[in-house]
Amino acid sequence: MSQRISCPVCNRDIALSSINRHLDEGCPEELNVSETSASGFFALAKNKPPAPSSSATTGRSTINSSPAGGKDWLGSSPASKEPQQSQQKRTFSLPFQGSSHDARKSDQGGGNTNLSKSFGDDGVADPDTPAAKRQKTTSARSAMPLAERVRPNTLDNIFGQDLVGPNGILRRMIESDSVKSMILWGGPGCGKTTIARTIAASTKARFVELSGTTNNVADCKKIFEQAKSELGLLGRKTILFIDEIHRFTKTQQDVFLAPVESGQIILIGATTENPSFKVQSALLSRCRVFTLKPLTTESTLKVLDRALASEFPERSDIPPLLDDKLLTYLAEFASGDARTALNLLEISIQLASQHQTGSNQGFTQEDLKKALTRTLVYDRQGDGHYDTISAFHKSVRGNDPDAALYYLGRMIESGEDPLFISRRMMVMASEDIGLADNTLLPLATATHFAVQNVGMPEARINLAHCTVALCLAKKSTRAYRGLNNVLALLQSDPEAASASIPLHLRNAPTTLMKTLGYGKEYKYPPNYVDGIVKQEYLPEKLIGKKFLEDIDLGTEIDEEAYEDEGEFEQDI
């Protein structure tokens, strides 16, 4: 199969060997089809050869039966043709195999992406007439989720991101067509894909969109080859947008290094995961990371207002239930995720419209709120998972049962594994309470056992019990700090890590070991009064070294914690 590239003028897919002739001839309409598509079409045409056509329908490539060169389009000589039927007309059109950029151009009215047939002898309506195509387009659009239908196509309609605001650095890069390789990092629904597609509509470069969920390394390599040809032949750059780039493993991400380094492609990666952990460091050093913030309630309201204006050009047609109060509720509930807000709005429109037409009498705004699917913004395997358990642990450590219960509730409501929570509690019992209250470790262990055997939802009570007990308990980190002191010494002093064990502490299971002095002069404390003996246990090099500190907690003072008490004393 010959290599093909996208024409920079008409955006048709042209064979690389024919691009110069195509440009010299002013981009004429011609048969531009991949070999696989052509083979299937030729097989169809062998049974029903086309009649000559004097003119081509706009946007459609018509195949004439008598091309130049004295042979017909199947490669046979004119003499071998069957007699033409003057009263019949058949035209065949083949799809242009374009990039994502070409498909976008087609959506705007240029090019043809459908294999279409028009029969004039059988009385069957052409399924690809302009009216039928418009109907198909309308049907396809109505099938799209609201979030996709109202996706912004200009920077001015992207709300809540300063990076693409009036003075945003990313906006200046887009408007000056000087986009560089970058990683867009942000939570779901903050505008990563929208920004990338806005770049596609603004740049002069060829734009190709792939997804880490559906495409693989082989697909990327094909794009690299096409990009190399485009750059060498036409001087046109290629922007490759990879949605969910973190789905590629770090080993697979190696494929991007050379093309990005050489400038063969401009890479735009979008990810909801922390790039420091999910994107290879070598690739990160070649890209600029832009962090997108969750949308504020105000910005989300703007998104919802714009969607309502799109769905209801006449404001009077908006169902009364969809007032400002409900929109504010949806915006707050979405927690910075525009897609969630728009999905909820779409459900609300459907329910409110049913009520308005009388099929859902007595339906109130409170009923509408209850009908909406309630999902908390929480990723059980991403940053949300680690951030929430971290906040839970630190709330326990800070003796704040209200905050600890709040984060516990968020995890339970979001479907977090309750055994993960109980395991973390066992760690807290020793790390934070430790020697101050030795009963908390058995309680945490019992809680873990209870969660295993009781199961949810009742096990949530066991988790709450242990959470509050951990919060209210006295805290001591002596044991935890003591171990950390030992580990710090072992990592910093190789001699300490390999210090010789004193002979009197060594076990002597054999006669030879006893002869060598193993276990000699060891004093067994239980044989002595109160178990008190004078005996060294540390290696000789570390004698006198103290790891376990005498205090339960630290010695730093947070002056802010005592400000209220000082003011109270002054008032008295």
Within a domain: 390:
yes
Q: Answer with the one of 371, 402, 437 that is the final residue of a domain.
A: 371
Q: How far is CA 572 from the centre of its chain?
A: 57
Within a domain: 71:
yes
Residues 6+ apart with CB under 8 A from 346: 145, 146, 147
Task: Give the number of C-alpha atoms closer than 13 A to the C-alpha of residue 87, restricted to the C-beta side.
Answer: 3
- Please write the tens of the pLDDT for every residue from 261-320: 988 899 999 998 888 888 988 999 999 999 998 888 899 999 999 998 888 888 878 888
| CATH code where residue 401 lies | 1.20.272.10
Domain check: are 245 and 165 in the same one?
A: yes
Distance CA 381, CA 166 (A): 35
Supply angle C-alpha 422, 428, 434, rounded to 5: 135
**108 has pLDDT over 70:** no
- Please write the tens of the pLDDT for every residue from 501-543: 888 888 888 888 888 888 888 888 888 888 888 888 888 888 8
| CATH code where residue 286 lies | 3.40.50.300
Query: 130 falls in which pLDDT band (50, 70, 90)?
Result: low
Distance CA 280, CA 356 (A): 53
What token pair was written down for 300?
Answer: 């989300």
Ordered DSSP codes for 421-441: HHHHHHHHIIIIIGGG-TTHH
Within a domain: 116:
yes
Domain check: are 279 and 390 in the same one?
A: no
Query: 2 falls in which pLDDT band (50, 70, 90)?
Result: low
CA distance to 28, 380, 564, per residue, from 570 (Å): 90, 49, 10
Domain check: are 312 and 407 in the same one?
A: no
CB 483 within 8 A of CB 499: no
Distance CA 43, CA 200 (A): 37
Distance CA 330, CA 323 (A): 11
Within a domain: 146:
no
Distance CA 31, CA 27 (A): 12
Sign of the CA dihedral running 40, 43, 49, 52: positive
Distance CA 572, CA 570 (A): 5
Domain check: are 445 and 421 in the same one?
A: yes
Domain check: are 167 and 270 in the same one?
A: yes
Sign of the CA dihedral running 31, 37, 38, 44: negative
CA distance to 263, 436, 486, 548, 554, per residue, from 483 (Å): 51, 16, 5, 8, 15
Cis omega before residue 457 (within 30°)?
A: yes
Within a domain: 516:
no
Ordered DSSP codes for 506-530: S---SHHHHHTTTTTT---GGGSGG
Domain check: are 168 and 270 in the same one?
A: yes
Domain check: are 460 and 339 in the same one?
A: no
Domain check: are 166 and 285 in the same one?
A: yes
Average pLDDT over every residue of 6-24: 75
Domain check: are 287 and 302 in the same one?
A: no
Domain check: are 205 and 265 in the same one?
A: yes
CA distance to 159, 506, 524, 528, 550, per residue, from 520 (Å): 78, 9, 11, 17, 32
Q: Answer with the one of 319, 343, 371 that is the final residue of a domain.
A: 371
Enter the pTM of the model: 0.53
Distance CA 181, CA 288 (A): 7
Report the run of H or E that residue 184 belongs to, with start and end.
strand 182-185
What token pair was written down for 531?
Answer: 């178990």
What token pair was written down for 249?
Answer: 């493993």
Domain check: are 439 and 341 in the same one?
A: no
Hey, is 106 helix, strand or coil? helix
Within a domain: 493:
no
Within a domain: 27:
yes
| Pairing mode of beta strands 90-93, 116-119 | antiparallel
**338 has pLDDT over 60:** yes
Within a domain: 213:
yes
Q: Which domain holds residue 316?
A: 297-371
Amino acid letter for position 294: P
Task: Give the number of C-alpha atoms closer than 13 A to the C-alpha of residue 350, restricted to the C-beta side.
Answer: 9
- Please write the tens of the pLDDT for every residue from 73-85: 333 344 444 444 4
Residues 6+ apart with CB under 8 A from 488: none
Strand spans (E) along 49-167: 90-93, 116-119
Highest mean pLDDT: which of 108-112, 134-138, 444-448? 444-448
Average pLDDT over every residue of 377-384: 56
CB 102 within 8 A of CB 3: no
- Please write the tens of the pLDDT for every residue from 155-211: 888 898 888 888 888 888 888 888 889 999 988 888 899 998 888 888 888 889 999
Domain count, the chain: 4
What token pair was written down for 534?
Answer: 């004078």
- For residue 221, which of 232, 231, 210, 213 has the smallest C-alpha distance? 210
Domain check: are 166 and 120 in the same one?
A: no
Q: How far is CA 353 from the centre of its chain?
A: 33
Q: Answer with the one of 274, 291, 308 that is the final residue of a domain.
A: 291
